Structure 1
Amino acid sequence: MSDRAGAGADFRTTSGHVLGMRSADGLVAVLGIPYAAPPFGPDRFRPPRPAARWGGVRDCRSFGPIAPQSAALPGSPVWQPGDEEVLTVNVWVRGRPAGGPLPVLFWIHGGAYTFGSSAQPDFDGAALARAGVVVVSCNYRVGFEGFGHVPGFPANRGLLDQVAALRWVRENIAAFGGDPDNVTVAGHSAGAGSVACLMAMERARGLFRRAIAHSAPHAFFTVEAAAALTSRIAAEAGVVPTGDGLLAASPQLLVAASDKVAGQCSADPIVAVQAYDPVVFQPVVDGDVLPVDPLRALAAGASRDVDLLVCHTLEEYRFLYEIGSVRAITSERELEDFADALRIPARLIADYRALMPGASLLDLYLALFGDAQFGEYGSRLAEHHARAGGRAHLSRFARRRVTPSGAARPWHTADIPFAFGNLDADGAAFLIGGTPDEQDRALSRRMLRAWADFAACGDPGWPPVTADTTTVKFWAVPGDYVADDATSDVRALWRDIPFNPSGRRRRYGRRFAHRPYDRSDVCVPY
């Protein structure tokens, strides 16, 4: 690393020198560094290949292009046809570290495995870097390019990209002052689901020491479900669903066809939950790249040497409903059909109504949806990991307050600007439910510190889950608190309901034939 003063700072990577930018307080950001070759042309739908070397010094003072998608997110770049160098990483570091290498936090963005990028303003790593962590974030293939089923090509190409980026960290992060033997992989939503997958993947073994998963969804496809969706997308694109046929379709054509199919899922879903949450991409349990559902892998002790920190928000689906991502229901019959589609025992509707006296039909629906797809799954990830001999910490984002624009809810995504220290980022006010006050800023400092401490030594500041006790940290204003899940009325309702995360769907209930509770091909968006 160069120590010269001014706007620039250069580093040597295995592919060549890169030039980043230095702020007045010595923080350095190096953006858009290729970690793999462009995944197009002969490399399209294939595993990532090493990036080509370059001569001289590469200017890395702006984010690289994002993967093919149709999303246009606040403050973020949009994908343009012809953008090909989409597999890049970004690094933030607080000058030259003193006293040895710094812990590394590797961030994986969310976005339904369909959209998003590392350039989103709420993912800026500057505040965490100032807390003593080297922050790395990456772009990876999303949508059909990353997760579509393509005969003759590997599944889960987006996950393989993440593994390649982690290998880049192992080989290069020492040049930025980071410790390659102390890497924490972290993510939110689809990024947290990716973290859980990486913990189950042999290809990722040894590339990270700790893991943070905020709002991990139980969202996985069987090979059969993924192939059925590909057939629909190919038909919409006017191509045959073969490797050659799909290679002949441009990325923009497949993006448009995927969006069209997603819009049709509420009427004719491939898996029942798509009638309520129409998203068409998620990791595929293919027996190779992703051998088994991560819950089963953690229960078997697959990553017991990896420290795990799990968090979910108390009202996950409220946000997704507000942005129009999920279908509304208007009758008791529709609520019963919803529970049947998600394999939720019908008695839970009455149980939730007893816990939420006076709640509207919509409130009951969203509470059931959020707990089924995020809260209970995340809690069990932590519990299974601990019971298998791993170290796990569990937390829940519970911050609520009244703002001039209405009630600020603990919904999906609200926790991330707090943990990154980016409450004033472009778009953050909507994510957190209004303008932050001093109590919010104090909460942000506490959450950021917990991430930094966990990345450094595996201790976020509260007791871990054990084989016998599930201790939970609740992030709240004006102050946080710790509780035992033995006292949780909501968790008690789920206690005797098994998750059996493997096998094929068999129809049951009014719409399907009765069977034990099984969530093998449930599709959720984030």
Structure 2
Amino acid sequence: MITTDTVRAPAGTVVGRRVGRVRRFLGIPYAEAPIGARRFAAPVRRGRFTEPYDASRQGATAQAVPLSATTTIPEPSVPGDDVLNLSVVAPVGAEHCPVLVWIHGGGFLAGSPASPWYDGRSFARDGVVTVTVGYRLGVDGFAPLDGVPANLGLRDMLLALDWVRENIAAFGGDPDRVTLAGQSAGGAAVLALLSSPAARGRFQRAASISGGFFEVARDTAHSFLERLGDRLGAPPTREGFSGFGVDRLQEAVRDLRGEEALVLGPVTDDDILPVSLAEGLAGHGLDVPLLLGATGDEFDGGVTADAAARSARAAGTRVTDILFRAACPRVARARRKAAAGTWLYSFEWPSPTTGGATHCIDIPFFYDVLDAPGVAAALGPRPPRELAARMHADLVGFVHGRQPPWAPATGEPGDTAREYGRPGAAPATDTTGGYDPVVPAAAEAY
């Protein structure tokens, strides 16, 4: 049975929906719409609602054009200008619950916080308030343009965290127990903010799922923007790109990037990221416990059982190893002085549909939403529920403040990594040497 649910928060009155023991407040704007003079500008805090805000449906998404016709994760595009919004899912009767703030992936170019894979109903069942954040993407969020503050997408996330700090208690969350988590570009954003002096104090724990050092060199970004300007017939400037709608820019970026992995993303040498992420991680966030890992095959699907491919993994020659897995020991080494600790995991369950432990398929396990739309298409008809129970329990325990039940990592040989779903093994097995601490030379560029 669906009923109306009203919260009176510092941001104003918010009207959502209650289904059973789960409360949902969707698409709440935390900033003014980034249009007109506010486009290509730092986000502006949303004023207090003067009338009750209807939070019964998903808010507008920054994604206007998906990266491809089909994506592993269902990623709906919702039209509208108020793309700087967030959604809250909370248990009925919640008081002082820990909070999971989720940053979606999509290569910093696409992705949607409205995905059914990010529904926090199982976290609510386990006493966690979930907040899913929308942020600016592509040129609007990550183009280093002259006269424009860099890293606008990260600035959006920081303002969303401020909103959580000020308002989440009204929804039953504890503003002093916030875990920042994300997957793919979202996981990379977690690492970026963990390394940032500007993010200090905004979250107390962090989880990076298939993230990495996804910072983009300014020269690389400027080169891509010049090519983008040539394609559009406009100068690669704020004024030039302002003449195009977000959908046209996203479409042009998608068509131009081809097989390039990273064309726009966080850049360094500003007040948000003054130094490289590796250097920043060595000096900031050392009081924040970090859980991080990757899937076994990420973008190298169909190889899990192949001996030659496993040798390639050991040699660190695959895209998976260069972009994702190599980052894990690098992060652990950068944080080796972190008293709060760093814990590694590896997701190894091979989907019968994708042929491997591929990118994104671990999310329904961590969220424990194996019945969500699109899961059967990605995971097959019978994904192991015991694996979802184990992975979800580990993440819930971490969000609740418990130390993971395996040894923390230092990035040196012999580190322990929790291994999820290796064929023939228990759902959660501790293995040593879970990641090769020798970073492939090609990975140093990322």
What does 1:238-257 align with in structure 2 at a 5 Å threshold? 238-257=233-252
- The answer to whether residue 320 in structure 2 is matched with residue 411 in structure 1 is no
Q: Residue 448 of structure 1: CA displacement?
A: 0.8
Residues of 1 paired with 2:411 and 2:248: CA distance?
50
Partners of 1:13 and 1:283 lie apart in 2 by: 32
Task: Give the aligned residue type for 2:252.
Answer: A
CA 1:358/1:396 → structure 2, altered by over 3 Å: closer, same or farther? closer
| Structure 1 pair 233–315 and aligned structure 2 pair: CA distance change class (3 A) | same
The code of the aligned residue for 2:76 comes to: P
Output one character per residue of 1:41-81: Cα deviation in whole Å (capped at 9) or x when no partner: 1100111101133223111011101014311657543254x
1:452 matched to 2:396? The reply is yes
What is the percentage of aligned positions where both structures have the same residue?
Answer: 33
- Superposed CA deviations along residues 140-175 of structure 1, whole A, max 9, x for unmatched, are 101111112221001111111111111100000010
Note the 1:154-165 alignment, pairs <5 A. Answer: 154-165=149-160
SS at match of 1:457: coil
Among candidates 3, 6, 18, match of residue 7 of structure 1: 3
* 1:193–1:360 CA distance, 2 compared to 1 (3 A): closer
Q: CA deviation at 1:106?
A: 0.4
- Paired residue for 2:341? 391
1:471/1:17 CA distance change after superposition, 3 Å:
same
* SS of match in other structure, 1:7: strand
Q: Deviations over 1:12-55 (max 9, x none)?
A: 2233100111112x210110101111011110011110113322
Whole-angstrom CA distance in 2 between matches of 1:363 and 1:498 = 11
What secondary structure, in the 3-state scheme, does the structure 2 residue paired with 1:429 have?
A: helix
- Counterpart mapping for 1:318-357 below 5 A: 318-319=300-301
Could you say what secondary structure the match of 1:519 adopts? helix
**Distance in 2 separating the partners of 1:364 and 1:193:** 23
Q: Deviations over 1:362-388 (max 9, x none)?
A: 999996221111001123213432344
CA–CA distance in structure 1, aligned partners of residues 313 and 344 of structure 2: 25
Q: Structure 2: how far apart are the matches of 1:303 and 1:210?
A: 9
Aligned to 2:110: 115
User: Which of residues 210, 214, 217 is equivalent to 1:222?
Assistant: 217
Say whether residues 1:28 and 2:23 are aligned partners: yes
Counterparts of 1:466 and 1:151, CA distance in 2: 39
SS state at 2:17 partner:
strand
The residue aligned with 2:134 is 139
Give 1:483's aligned residue.
431
Please give the secondary structure, in 2, of the residue aligned with 1:288. Answer: coil
Corresponding residue SS for 1:118 = coil
Letter in 1 for 2:372: A
CA distance in 2, matches of 1:227, 1:58: 40
Alignment partner of 1:87 is 2:87: no
In 2: Cα distance, 1:460 partner to 1:357 partner: 31
With structure 2 as the length reference, what TM-score do the two structures score? 0.90
In 1: Cα distance, 2:369 partner to 2:395 partner: 14
Which of 402, 407, 426 is residue 373 of structure 2 equivalent to?
Answer: 426
User: Which residue in the other structure is 2:231 paired with?
Assistant: 236
Structure 2: distance between partners of 1:370 and 1:388: 26
> 1:91-115 CA distances to partner (integer Å, 9 max, x unpaired)?
1111112xx5011000000001111
Is residue 261 of structure 1 aligned with residue 256 of structure 2? yes
Contact 2:40 2:148 in 1 (8 A): yes
Which residue of structure 1 lines up, in the alignment, with residue 382 of structure 2? 436
> Given residue 436 of structure 1, which amino acid in structure 2 is its aligned partner?
R
Aligned partners of 1:21 and 1:30 also within 8 Å: yes
Selected match of 1:294 from 267, 277, 301? 277
Output the aligned Cα RMSD: 2.7
Q: 1:255 to 1:183 in 2, by over 3 A?
A: same
Letter in 2 for 1:409: G
Deviation readout 1:435-476 (Å, 9 max, x if unpaired): 224xx1111011111111101114233222258662110011
TM-score, normalising length: structure 1: 0.77
1:475 partner letter: Y
Amino acid of the structure 2 residue aligned with 1:77: P
- In structure 2, relative to structure 1, the CA distance for the partners of 1:467 and 1:411 (3 Å cut) is closer
Which deviations, in whole Å up to 9, do the C-alpha atoms of 1:204-254 show, x marking residues without a partner? 110000000011133221222212211111221111122222222322332
Return the letter of the residue paired with 2:137: V
2:369 counterpart letter in structure 1: N
Give 1:394 deviation, angstroms: 0.7
Residue 473 of structure 1 corresponds to 418
Deviation digits for residues 257-278 of structure 1, max 9, x if unmatched?
2123213xx5xxxxxxx3xx4x
Q: How many residues align structurally? A: 437
Tell which structure's C-alpha radius of gyration is larger.
1
Unmatched 5+ stretches in structure 1: 267-273, 323-354, 500-516
- The one-letter amino acid of 1:152's match is G
Query: What amino acid sits opposite 2:385 in the alignment?
Result: R
Amino acid at match of 1:483: T
CA-to-partner distance for each residue in 1:381-430, whole Å, 9 max, x for gaps?
134323444411111001237x5x6x752111111110001112111123
- The corresponding residue for 1:102 is 97
Contact 2:11–2:167 (8 Å) recurs in 1: no
Q: 2:164 aligns with which of 159, 169, 175?
A: 169
Supply the distance in 2 between the matched residues of 1:32 and 1:250 (Cα, whole angstroms).
22
Change in Cα spacing, 1:182 to 1:141, as seen in structure 2 (3 Å) is: same
Flag structure 2 segments of 5+ consecutive residues without an equivalent: none
Worse-superposed segment, 368-377 or 51-60: 51-60
136-145 or 454-463, which deviates more: 454-463
Partners in 1 of 2:348 and 2:443 — Cα distance?
Answer: 29
Residues 220 and 285 of structure 1 are in contact (CA less than 8 Å); yes or no, is this contact kept in structure 2?
Answer: yes
| Partner deviation per Cα, 1:107-144 (whole Å, 9 max, x = no partner) | 00000111111111111111111111111111110111
Say whether 1:519 aligns with 2:441.
Answer: no
Aligned to 2:289: 307
Distance 1:241 1:309 in 2: 38
Q: Distance in 1 between matches of 2:359 and 2:100?
A: 21
Check the 8 A contact 2:312/2:318 in 1, yes or no: no
Q: Among residues 21, 41, 55, which one is paired with 2:36 in the alignment?
A: 41
User: Is this contact kept in 1: 2:329–2:410, CA < 8 A?
Assistant: no
Equivalent pair of 1:464/1:471 in contact (CA under 8 Å): yes
Counterparts of 2:350 and 2:227 in 1: how far apart (Å)?
A: 42
Which deviates further from its counterpart, 222-231 or 192-201? 222-231
